[in-house]
Amino acid sequence: MTTQSIGTSLATDLSSRELQISEQPGHIKIVNTSGKRIVFGVSTALKKATTTPTGVLDPNEAALFIVKSDGKEQNDRITIIYTHPPEGTDKQYRSEYFLGEDTLIVRKNLPIRFEKITAVLARFEKLN
């Protein structure tokens, strides 16, 4: 398994043209602009969130995350990891997609500081 941490651009086989991430206060949106499925997982730095989404995005699908916090100032952040699942697999999230020896995993640490995150909720949508 290869894990690569990235900053503002993706310098791997998964390029910035394949997954777009946009942030607004309380919201994060990721869009799969590639021609392949992308499997993703979300985590928080303090590991206190009761809900963190995982999922599979087909091409031209998006996930909108709503970030809930308890209002106490903490140095929490969100990390999104993603990869391509094996060809021919069902559209179902499986953690083993991230465990293969030759799997390229991209980790995106969002630079904004959140208050203590209690939940990250996701809504999926198909884009035109």
Q: What are 42-63's pLDDT values in tens digits?
A: 888 877 777 888 999 999 999 9
CATH number at residue 79: 2.60.40.10
Sheet strands side by side (includes 54-57): 2-6, 104-109, 78-83, 38-44, 54-57
Q: Flag whether 3 is in a domain.
A: no
Q: How far, in Å, CA of 107 to CA of 10, rounded?
A: 9
Does 115 or 80 have the greater pLDDT score? 80
Q: Flag whether 87 is in a domain.
A: yes
What confidence score (pLDDT) does residue 24 get?
Answer: 79
Could you report the per-residue pLDDT of 67-114, keeping only the tens digit for each? 887 776 667 788 888 999 988 899 999 988 888 777 888 888 886 666
Q: How far, in Å, CA of 77 to CA of 11, rounded?
A: 22
The pLDDT of residue 21 is above 90: no
What confidence score (pLDDT) does residue 12 get?
Answer: 40
Under the banding of pLDDT at 50, 70 and 90, the label for residue 14 is low
Q: Flag whether 55 is in a domain.
A: yes
Q: Flag whether 107 is in a domain.
A: yes
Which domain, by its residues, includes 39? 19-119
Element (H, E) at 31: strand 27-32
Q: How far, in Å, CA of 59 to CA of 94, rounded?
A: 18
Q: Flag whether 9 is in a domain.
A: no
The pLDDT of residue 116 is above 90: no
Q: Flag whether 57 is in a domain.
A: yes
Q: Flag whether 2 is in a domain.
A: no
68: tokens are: 């809930």
Q: Flag whether 40 is in a domain.
A: yes
Domain tally, the chain: 1
Under the banding of pLDDT at 50, 70 and 90, the label for residue 31 is very high
